[in-house]
Amino acid sequence: MKCYYLFLAFMLTFYFSSAQTQGEFRMLNNQAFPPLPLPPGTLVKTPRYDYVKGNAYAFDGWKKADLTLQNGKVFNAINVKLNLVDESVIFEGQDQTEMVLNLPLSHITFVNGSTYKTINVNNESGLYEVLEQGTITVLKHSKKTVMESKGYNEVTEKRFTLTTKYYLNKDQNFQEIKLDKKSVANALIALGVTSTAASDAKFNLKKEEDIIAVIRNINQGI
């Protein structure tokens, strides 16, 4: 009889222990995501732009991205903003604080597939969006500055002005291009690429998408 009660006590202990464990798993499953590690950073101390029209960022609000540092560490599903004035990476820290990344960045990949890399182009290091990756790479560099102008009643207005530059890169040979056929054709010659694609009538080369299409066409033939 004593053995019976010992066995019963063991089974009850096992049952309640199992139920408690399952409850913990349900509690975890009720959370959308477990806490993810955050990259190293410091509180944002960039100047406020309360009286400047527009914003300093590449896009509005936060966007999810995977950050890869130059030391090889990867941080996944981080809320990110890109400041185009000082080309800093802002991420959402604990308690919704805004933090600035303080270790060298290798690249950022957003959930929509767009990628930004830290690249030194003609002795100018910055964040460059990779529009096409291949033997020839198409890069886009976007920079914002604060401009002042006289508005209505001679009131001084401040606004953000966006400057965009495009580059072709092959073997660390960076050639700046304009959105026209002649510029792209000259850049390809400077890169040592022989191709008639840039003069093909089906490519207008007046828009960003046209540049991507023609370089992708060339990459497929190399």
At 4 the pLDDT is: 47
In tens, the pLDDT along 58-72 reads 999 999 999 999 999
In tens, the pLDDT along 189-208 reads 999 998 777 777 667 888 99
**Could you tell me what percent of the chain has a pLDDT over 90?**
61
pTM of the predicted model as reported, rounded to 2 decimal places: 0.79
In which residue ranges of the chain is pLDDT below 50? 4-5, 7-29
At 155 the pLDDT is: 78
At 65 the pLDDT is: 97
Cα–Cα distance, 132 to 119 (Å, whole number): 15
At 30 the pLDDT is: 52
Give the start-to-end residue ranges of the domains of the chain: 1-31, 36-113, 127-222
Q: Which two tokens stand for residue 99?
A: 């933090």
Question: Dihedral through CA 101, CA 133, CA 193, CA 125, nearest 10?
Answer: 0
Beta bridge partners of 148: 158
CA diameter of the chain: 100
- Three-state secondary structure call for residue 181: helix
